[in-house]
Amino acid sequence: MEKRNSLLMNTSILYRYTQKYYDKNLDLYQIGAGQLQFLILIYEHEGITMSDLSLMGGFDKGTVTKGIQRLEAEGYITTAANEKDKRIKHLYTCDKTKKIIPEIYLVRQEWWEKITQGLSEEELQLAENVQAKLIANASALTQPTNQLKIFGMQKLTLLDYPSKLASTLFTGGCNFRCPFCQNADLVFLPEDLSEINSDDLESFLKQRQKTLDGICISGGEPLLHEELEPFLYKLKGLGYKVKLDTNGSYPKLLKKYAAAGLIDYVAMDIKNDKAHYAKTIGLESFDLSPIEESVDFLLHGDLDYEFRTTVVRDFHSEKEISAAAEWLKGAKAYYLQAFVDSECVIQKGLQGYDADEMQKLCEAARKFVPNTQVRGL
């Protein structure tokens, strides 16, 4: 049999052996391999919806429904209707799950130790890299054929990705219209805005594999684009760490890409306190629930992250900054970025704060987020 066919066959065999092992070792709990992945995801993301489960694991809805029904029948999970939309069901683990979850994790860990016995760290890393490339190719077949459009690139940055030598790529288009945005062209996409050639970009990424540690994806709002997912798989296949800049309005995609290991660091913009959010993003009204969901996910998850606010005198006072920081209480890091007017800003004539004033705002925020720093001065 040809090697390329053997690889696919061996992957299938490993999957079947894994199922058999889980079925055998979880039988005393009346669950099997088909429910294990769902139970762990629900335990690690209490309140997750069935739609989120489908996105995070690439499962079809029928498979999710069947697995959830089995877990609910065995008393491991319970459901609760969303207060705003009764059609949406949130999933929670019961005490029965919390009692056995250490044993569940142990079964998974023991299986991993058994199948990786005798393999070096280098071999495991190589296997992960190969798998990432295969998944990227497979994922591309189920995604639109269009390439992710990149409209700008900073080839080298020591600032955008903490502790990493990186390059920053800029996508186009945004669902916000923040008056102080410094990337007006990326928001409104004028007809003469040039796109970076995809072949040139791919060549650059391959040439810099041994030079750069990571790639920053900024915008615009990167999560607007369905082409982002196969592009992230491509970056991971090349061995890059990935930092994502986002406004937090697409929490389901954020969770999905995080669960798939496609992003390593998130910088989420907090535009203002809750009371003034709509005005600050250039809209008359805005449903904050997606933003709140993204904030909650980052605060209580394992993904490395930072929150940041561009501080503009016309929109932010000490009162607003304090309220925003209180919202983020317990955050790992919060950065206040000094606004500087320029020709690229959407609304001209806005005012920033000087260094002393920024430091005063920083001290106010530190009452809630001790690791608050000032950037841009």
- The 10s digit of each residue's pLDDT in 33-88 is 989 999 999 999 999 998 888 877 778 888 889 999 999 999 999 999 888 777 78
3-117 adopts what CATH topology? Arc Repressor Mutant, subunit A (1.10.10)
CA 279 to chain centre: 26
Tell whether the model's pLDDT for residue 265 goes beyond 60: yes
pLDDT digits 0-9 by tens, 175-188: 999 999 999 999 99
Say if domain 141-375 classifies as CATH 3.20.20.70: yes
Same topology, domains 3-117 and 141-375? Answer is: no
Q: What's the rounded Cα separation, in Å, for the pair 285 and 362?
A: 28
* pLDDT for the residue 5: 60
- For the cut 90, the answer to whether the pLDDT of residue 4 exceeds it is no
pTM: 0.68
Tell me, what's the pLDDT at 1?
Answer: 38
Kindly compute the dihedral angle of the four CA atoms of residues 373, 318, 250, 34, in this order, to the nearest 10 degrees: 70
- Binning pLDDT at 50, 70 and 90, where does residue 270 land? very high
Does 142 have pLDDT greater than 70?
Answer: no
Question: Do 136 and 230 touch, CB atoms closer than 8 A?
Answer: yes
Q: Domain ranges in the chain?
A: 3-117, 141-375
What does the pLDDT look like over 275-320, one tens digit per residue?
Answer: 999 999 999 899 999 999 999 999 999 999 999 999 999 999 999 9
> Which residues neighbour 368 within 8 Å (Cβ) at sequence distance 6 or greater?
322, 325, 326, 328, 329
